Structure 1
Amino acid sequence: MENIYDILKERGFIEQATHEDEIRELLGKESVTFYIGFDPTADSLHVGHFIQVMVMMHMQRAGHKPIALIGGGTAMVGDPTGKTEMRKMLTEDDINKNAEAMGNQIGKYVTLDGEKGIAVNNADWLKGLNYIPFLRDVGRHFSVNRMLTAECFKSRMEKGLSFLEFNYMLMQSYDFLELNNRYNCKLELGGNDQWSNILGGVDLIRRVKSESAYGLTFKLLTTSEGKKMGKTEDGAVWIDENKTSPYDMYQYLRNVNDADVENCLALLTFLPMDEVRRLGSLEGAEINKAKEILAYEFTKIVHGEEEAKKAEKAAKSLFGGGMDQGSIPSTEMERETFDEPMPLFVILKEIGITSSNGEGRRLIKQGGIYIDDNRITDNNHKVALDDFNDGKLMIRKGKKVYHQITVK
C-alpha cells in the first residue's frame, strides 16, 4: 500500500515537516494518532478550512486515527496568527454554540466514534488550569526571545501584541502535550500559518517527556497569485448549506481561474492524480469541462451526490437558457409585502445580495442588476406584484449570481 505521506506530497498538500524522513517512516509502519485543531470562531467551516478536513479524510482512509480538536479554550484567547489586530472576543455562549456546530460538521466527513477517530474540546483541560503551576510546568520551557521571532507574532509587533494573545502559543503547545498523554498522539497537522505553534508543541513534548513528536503543515488554499481562496464579494464560501447554498458553492468552483484548476482538483477532490493532471492540462474552452468536474466533485463531497447533481443541473440550465432552477438560492416572501411597490435596493439587501441600501443603489446605477434578464439602471426602481410571473421573480447580479424570489 502506498505511503500516505507520498500521496499527500504528490497532491500538493505538504508544505513543511519537522522530521520528514521520520514522519514518512512512522506513517508507513503503524497506525498513527494525529490531531488537527479548529478554533470555533464561527458556526461553520469555510472552503479554506476544508483543506484540513480533506487531509483528515485521506489520513483516516489510510488507516491512521484522527483527533478533531475543537478549540473551545483557545478561542477564548484568540490566535494572533495572520491578524494585524486583535480578534474580536466572543462570549462563552457563542463559543460553545460554535463548537457544537463545528464538531457536528466535521463528524459528517470524518469518523469520530472514539475508535477510528476522536472528537475533543480543549476547554476540558484549559479552562481548569491553575496559572502558576502552568507557568512552572509549561512556561519555563519557552524562550520569550525565540517566541518573538515566530512568524505568528511578527505581523502584530508594530501595532501591539496583547499578553492575552502571547499565551496562545503556550496553550496550543500544551494541547499537543495533553493529547500525547491521553491518546498517544504523535503528530500535529495544520495549515502553514500554524508552523510556529506546531513547533512549540513538538518541542514541549520532547523537553517534558524526552519522547519523539512530530509536526506537519500543509499549504493554504491559494490562487496561482498567492491570494487566499474561499471568499467572494459576499463573504466566505461556507460549508454550511444554510450559509452558502450547494448551488453557490458549485458556481464558486466552476468559476475559478484556469491556472488554479489543477491545484484545486488535487486538494479538493479524490480524483486520481493522473486524471487531475489530464484535466489541468486542458486549454481554451475545454478547461471549462475540468472546472465543471471540480465543482461537481467538491460539492458532492460536501453536500452529497444528490445536491451536487441538482447544482450542476441548475447551473447548466441557467447558462444554457433553460429554466430549471431547483438549486438556485431563493427567498420566500409574503404576497402582502408587495401590496405597495418595494424599492429594488431594499429587496437586494433583504435577500442578501448586498449588505446595505447604498451598495444596492450603486450596483443598480452601474447596471449590475437584472430582473428576469432585463437590466435595471434606475436606482429608484420599485418592484410590484405585477412584476412576478407565476409568483416568481429572478434577480441576477452581474453574470453569475442568481436569486429567485417567490411570493405566497
Structure 2
Amino acid sequence: MGPSAPTDQEPHVSTAGGSVLDDLTARGLVAHSTDLEALRAEMDAGPIVYYVGFDPTAPSLHVGNLLQILTARRLQLAGHRPLLLVGGSTGLIGDPKETGERVMNTHETVAAWVERIRDQVVRFVDLEGENGATMVNNLDWTESLSTIDFLRDIGKHFPVNRMLARDVVSSRLESGISYTEFSYVLLQSMDYLELHRRHGCVLQTGGSDQWGNITAGVELVRRSEGRRVHALATPLITKADGTKFGKTESGTVWLDRELMSPYAFYQSWIQAEDTKVGEYLKQFTFVPVEEIDALMAEHAAAPGRRLAQRRLAAEVTALVHGQAEVDAAELASTALFGRGELAELPEDTLAAALGETGVVELGGDATLTDALLETGLVDSRSAARRAVSEGGAYVNNSRVDDAEAPLASLDALHGSWLVLRRGKRAVAGIRRVRS
C-alpha cells in the first residue's frame, strides 16, 4: 500500500493540545465534539490516549476510512498515543444500515479481513516510541464474555427508549431490524469502556455518521466509571451535489491495490471538482493550510491547469501507495496522449491506465482498421481508413500509415499491449492475443 508513516509529507506539530485542535478545525475536520475546550485543556496538561475503530465488513479500507487514519496520524504527530481498533467482534455483526439488514460474513472471513485491515492501518502510524500506536481487537474482550454478564454489566446502562430514538433504528422500525443489529451500539460502546480501563483512553474519534455510537460510549464510561471522556467526529465528505465522496463510476475508492490500482486511485483524485478540491487538500493531506490557500488562489486564476487536483492526487497517492506509483501515474497520464515515453511504463500501470480508457482483445491477424472500429475510436471502416490516411491514427504514439496493417506486424509494449489513439484525445487499448 505504501510507506510506513509518511513523514516526508508531514509538518512538525506542537505537542500542545491547542495546536492540533486548531489545525483540525482549520482543516474542516471537526464536525461534532462533546466539549472541545475541555478536550483542549486535557491535551494541554499532557499527552492523552485516544482511539479510532474500523469494522472489517470488507477486505479493504476505503477513502472514508483514510480520513480517520490521517486524523489519528495528526494527533499522534502532536504527541498523543493512538489505539487503532479493528473490530473482530463488531465486524461479525456490522453497524445497522438505513437500507436494510446486513448480510453476516463467516467467522473465518471476518478474521481474514481483520488481518488485512490491520496491515493497512499500521502503515500510516508509528508503532515505536513513547507515543507508539497500539493495535487492538475487540474480540479479545467479547469472545469469552457471557450473555448474562453482558446484559448485567453493559445492557443495564442503555435505556431502550433512547436506543429506539436513534435515527438509524427509527428509520428501520417499519421495515424491520434484528435484535442483533439493534444491539450493535452496546458492543461499540463497550469498546470505549474497555479501552478506558485497559489503556486510560479518553478520546474516541470517528466519522459523523458514527456520532450516536461514539457518544453512547462516552455515556457508558460516565455511568460505569464516573469519568468524563471525550468524543470528536469528522464531517461526512461529500461531492458538490451532496452525494457521498469516495464513489466512482467503477465503484468504491479502495486503499488496497488489488481492489483498485494505484493509477485508478490517482485518477479518482484528479477528477475532484473545483469547488471541493480545496477542502480535500486540507482534509486528506499534510500540506500546511497556508500553502493550500496560496495554491487555491493560483488554481482560481487558471482552473484549466488543474494545479490543485494534480497536487491532491500526488499527495494522497504518495501517502497510500508511495511516490513511485505517483511518478508512474503521472507518466501514464501524459504518455497515453503522446507527451511521454510509453515504453517506460511498468506493465501493471499501463494495463491499469488502459483499463480506464477501455481495452479490447484482438488476434494478431486483425488489422488496424479492425482495431479502430472494435475499440469504438471510429464508427465505420471508412472512417478508420480516413483517420489513417489523414495522419490522425497512432499506435504506441507513432503515426501509422497503413490501415490494413495486421496487429502482428506492430511492436507491442510488454509483448502484448498496443495503445491506439485517434487525434489528440481519443485513446483505447488493445491486448494482442494469439489468433
Question: Under TM normalisation by the shorter chain, which class is it?
Answer: 0.7 to 0.9
Q: C-alpha displacement at 1:407, in angstroms? A: 5.2
Q: 2:135 aligns with which of 107, 111, 119?
A: 119
The match for 1:191 is 207
Partners of 1:239 and 1:302 within 8 A in 2: yes
SS at match of 2:126: coil
1:405 alignment counterpart: 431
Alignment equivalent of 1:100, drawn from 82, 98, 115: 115
Query: Which residue, out of 321, 329, 336, partners 1:318?
Result: 336
Residues 111, 374 of structure 1: alpha-carbon distance in 2 compared, 3 angstrom cutoff:
same
Structure-2 residue corresponding to 1:307:
325
Tell me the residue number matched to 1:293. Answer: 311
Separation in structure 2 between the aligned mates of residue 387 and residue 212 of structure 1, nearest angstrom: 74
Q: 1:84 aligns with which of 74, 99, 116?
A: 99
Q: Following superposition of structure 1 onto structure 2, how do residues 165-204 of structure 1 map, counting pairs within 5 Å?
A: 165-204=181-220
Per-residue displacement from partner, 1:62-86 (whole Å, max 9, x unpaired)?
A: 1111111001100111101x43111
Could you say what secondary structure the match of 1:155 adopts?
Answer: helix
Tell whether the 8 Å contact from 2:377 to 2:428 is kept in structure 1 after alignment: no
What's the CA shift for 1:59?
0.8
- Alpha carbons of structure 1 residues 317 and 163: separation in structure 2 relative to 1, 3 Å: same
CA distance in 2, matches of 1:370, 1:109: 44
What is the number of residues matched between the two proteins?
Answer: 371
Q: Equivalents in 1 of 2:220, 2:427: separation in Å? A: 49
State whether structure 2 residue 39 is matched by structure 1 residue 23. Answer: yes
Unaligned residue ranges in structure 2 (runs of 5+): 1-13, 355-360, 367-371, 382-405
Task: Report deviation, 1:169.
Answer: 0.3
Comparing 71-80 with 307-316, greater Cα deviation is found at 307-316
1:14 aligns to 2:30 (yes or no): yes
* C-alpha separation in 1, matches of 2:22 and 2:426: 38
SS of equivalent residue, structure 1 residue 37: strand
**Residue range with higher mean Cα deviation, 318-327 or 165-174:** 318-327
Q: Which has the larger radius of gyration?
A: 2
TM-score, with structure 2 as normaliser? 0.78
The aligned residue for residue 158 of structure 2 is: 142
Residue 129 of structure 1 and its aligned partner are, at CA, apart by: 1.2
Identity of aligned residues (%): 37
Judging changes above 3 Å, is the alpha-carbon distance between structure 1 residues 164 and 402 closer, same or farther for their aligned structure 2 residues? farther
| Alpha-carbon distance in structure 1 between the residues aligned to 2:170 and 2:410 | 55
Q: 1:180, CA displacement in angstroms?
A: 0.6
- Report the Cα distance in structure 2 between the residues aligned to 1:148 and 1:42, rounded to whole angstroms: 27
Residue identity in the other structure for 1:112: L
1:50 maps onto 2:66 in alignment: yes
Native 8 Å contact 2:362 2:431 kept in 1: no
CA distance in structure 1 between the aligned counterparts of 2:121 and 2:164, rounded to whole angstroms:
33
Q: CA deviation at 1:320?
A: 5.2
**TM-superposed deviation, 1:240:** 1.0
Q: Which residue of 2 aligns with 1:328?
A: 350
Root-mean-square deviation (Å): 2.9
Distance 1:292 1:134, change over 3 A: same
Opposite residue 312 of structure 1, the aligned amino acid is: E
Q: Distance in 2 between matches of 1:35 and 1:125?
A: 16
Whole-angstrom distance in 2 between the partners of 1:167 and 1:114: 37
- Distance in 1 (alpha carbons) for counterparts of 2:217 and 2:190: 7
Q: Which range is displaced more, 283-292 or 320-329?
A: 320-329
Gaps of 5+ in 1: 343-366, 379-383
1:127-166 Cα deviation digits (max 9, x unpaired): 2211111111111111111111113323322311111101
